[in-house]
Amino acid sequence: MKKMINNWYNISIYLAGLTALLAIFLPVTEVQKCLLASICILFLHFFEEFGYPGGFPLLGVKLLLGTNEMDKTKWDCNNLSSMFGNWTFLILVYVFPLLLPNVRFLTLSAMLFLLMEVIMHSIFNLRLKSIYNAGLITAILGLGPIGLYYFINLFDSKIYIWYDYALAVLWFIIVFIFCFRSKIYWELGKKDGYVLTDQTAFGVNQLTKN
């Protein structure tokens, strides 16, 4: 089990492939295809952030937690907490609308967060004064276009009431807090045996500088 958890971002590649096959061969609606495509790209997004080139944990420590600590063993972050946070977020925000298509705000929340990913990674670039950060490519070339396609071609404003928009934003905020800021996340990050590799923690670019 530990070996699987410590390779969760590599396993994500295979899950992306499986999700792509489901999107192609399952008799689903176009909105559901967008959700499946989002899940597929998110799995690849996880690999970009934690597998290759990696380095998202360092970015998170610097920009989200506001510390310059470079000793990864002192971070409350490991493969167990990372897998829990990312896979749980994916399930709650993207799988739920697949299973509950009549709960309108769930699909809206999923599609809005695709655009939020692009915005967040763009802000990361501005703050880092760089042209790349871990996850940027899959965000800009994958998540963003899916979100835009949905809102340009599939979005029907007539089916939504004003509070659907409020619930959509509130939902992904609540899920984000639960997945990445809750006591469960921090406690999992302290568990032994799930240490981040240097490539996952710092990224290929950072390693080649040293």
Q: Per-residue confidence at 67, pLDDT binned at 50, 70, 90?
A: confident
Asked if pLDDT for residue 59 goes beyond 70, the answer is: yes
**CA 93 to CA 129: how far, in whole Å?**
30
Note the pLDDT of residue 135.
97
What is the average per-residue pLDDT within 35-61? 96
**CA 98 to CA 35: how far, in whole Å?**
7
Note the pLDDT of residue 63.
84
Q: Per-residue confidence at 209, pLDDT binned at 50, 70, 90?
A: low
Per-domain boundaries in the chain: 1-197
Q: Mean pLDDT across the chain, nearest whole number? A: 95
Asked if pLDDT for residue 158 goes beyond 60, the answer is: yes
pTM above 0.85, yes or no: yes
The DSSP element (H or E) to which 108 belongs, if any, is helix 104-128
